[in-house]
Amino acid sequence: MSSLDEKGRIAANKSLDQMTLVDMDVIGCPFPAYEKLRHEAPVFKDPAGFYVVSRYDDIYKALKDTATFSSDSLVPREEYTRPTQYGGLEQVDTMITSDPPKHRYLRGPLNKLFSLSRVNQMEAYVQQIVDELIDSFIDDGHCDFVKQYTVPLPMYVIADQLGVPRADLASFSRWSDAFATLVSGFASEDDKIYAAKQIVEMQEYFLKVIPGKRKNPTDDVISDLIQAKMEDGQPMRDVDILSSIHLLLTAGNETTTNSMSLAMRALIENPAQMQALRDDPSLIDGFVEESLRFDGPVQGLMRRATRDTEIAGVQIPKDSLVNLRFGSGNRDETKYPTPEEFDVCRKHQVTHLAFGQGTHVCLGASLARKEINLTFATILRRMRNIRLVNPNSEHVYERNIALRCLKHLQIAFDKA
């Protein structure tokens, strides 16, 4: 057991009145704390100011009940206007912060762009990026898997889908990180100001791109957004398009990056599972689902109670923030036998909550699955003896209660 896991276990041994999700030891390894909460306080009032829901069935029910558990507070609303203080436009709701029926209009135009059939057509193109990135470090015998692979891959894919140059990757990365900070649960006043400035920079960048695409639409997401109609039959305004672009940049990057970093960590720490996958490559789909269940990048997201309500017998007053812990539901022993085991042959993994469920279920799930699948199928073909460069050093995670973000993963390998 790593020292990080050990610290997570110690944190979970604290009494409930000393427990909080914003404890860095819990963030480093949240699973023992989740187990305690599921058993002792499945709906827990965190001293940080929100309720934590940790059992699979309770999370699932809340996700399906959008009338009671609204998404309108997923991003703190006071942050919508902050960009205007720095010369930018006010941010507006996107699908992820909207409830039905408005949600349908905001999601509709983008649905088909990331459908399974469209993603299947993208396979050769994604495979090419996968190979190019691996080519860039395979002769070195080592790499920072995060910096050199899992960050650029989804970023290139989204940049191409938006129809903007990959050369601007560093900017996309900053804009995407700005959003991650806002949902981290740790954003200081300085962080919020920094995030607002990044959003303004992003707005200025895309406001230069939109007029050209309005005049000469091309086969990309921005052109599709320009042609989409809102609930009143009117085209999307620039602010709607900008907020949707920001959502895609952020929802599709940080998540896919971390899903692959965490999957690599799980494989290295479970060599028998890595061998099973090498021996039978047809297990790859099961591996993708199991890695998302076992250690997914979205640990939990906020909802707001629209009325006085109750979950598992605990009263929740109107306007309370409720944090649905997907990462805990995915380790719920009533749903998954031996949940702490990483098992690529596990049955029914696809029920996991890593992509959410219901109205807001991940729009990019097919694309993310394709990227993870091609990544590991290729890596297992091209690399042998994959290992950590420093097996005894601690993994470092960002301070973030919503997303599980591994900062680096130094790996070594032999070229196959």
Tell whether residue 206 is a contact of ligand HEM (CB under 6 A): no
Residue 109 has φ and ψ, to the nearest 5°, of -65, -25
- Count residues near ligand HEM (CB under 6 A): 27
Q: Which is nearer to ligand HEM, 98 or 198 (CB)?
A: 98
Per-residue x/- track, 152-181, ligand HEM (CB under 6 A): ------------------------------
Tokens of 195: 């995030």
Angstrom distances, CA of residue 125 to CA of 133, 255, 374, 376: 13, 20, 11, 16
Contact 228, 109 (CB under 8 A): yes
Reduce the DSSP state of residue 415 to 3 states and report it.
strand
Q: How far is the CB of 33 from ligand HEM (least distance, A)?
A: 20
Q: Which is nearer to ligand HEM, 44 or 69 (CB)?
A: 69
Tell whether residue 256 is a contact of ligand HEM (CB under 6 A): yes
Select from 32, 252, 300, 339 the one that contacts ligand HEM (CB under 6 A): 252
Q: Which is nearer to ligand HEM, 25 or 397 (CB)?
A: 397
Residue 139 exposure: Cα atoms within 13 Å on the Cβ side: 3
Per-residue x/- track, 69-108, ligand HEM (CB under 6 A): --x--x--------------------xx----------x-
The C-alpha atoms of residue 56 and residue 354 are separated, in whole angstroms, by 11
Tell whether residue 62 is a contact of ligand HEM (CB under 6 A): no
Q: Which is nearer to ligand HEM, 281 or 358 (CB)?
A: 358
Contact 271, 387 (CB under 8 A): no
The C-alpha atoms of residue 184 and residue 31 are separated, in whole angstroms, by 18
Tell whether residue 298 is a contact of ligand HEM (CB under 6 A): yes
Site residues for ligand HEM, 349-378, by CB under 6 A, read 354-356, 360, 362-364, 367-368
Sheet with 69-70, side-by-side order of all strands: 43-46, 50-53, 321-324, 301-305, 69-70
Contact 276, 186 (CB under 8 A): no
Q: How far is the CB of 402 from ligand HEM (least distance, A)?
A: 10
Select from 89, 153, 288, 301 the one that contacts ligand HEM (CB under 6 A): 301
Q: How far is the CB of 291 from ligand HEM (least distance, A)?
A: 9
Residue 61 exposure: Cα atoms within 13 Å on the Cβ side: 10
Site residues for ligand HEM, 103-132, by CB under 6 A, read 107, 114
Residue 223 has φ and ψ, to the nearest 5°, of -60, -40
Place of tokens 């990135």: 133
Q: Which is nearer to ligand HEM, 134 or 251 (CB)?
A: 251
- Give the binding site for ligand HEM (CB under 6 A): 71, 74, 95-96, 107, 114, 247-248, 251-252, 255-256, 259, 296-298, 301, 326, 354-356, 360, 362-364, 367-368
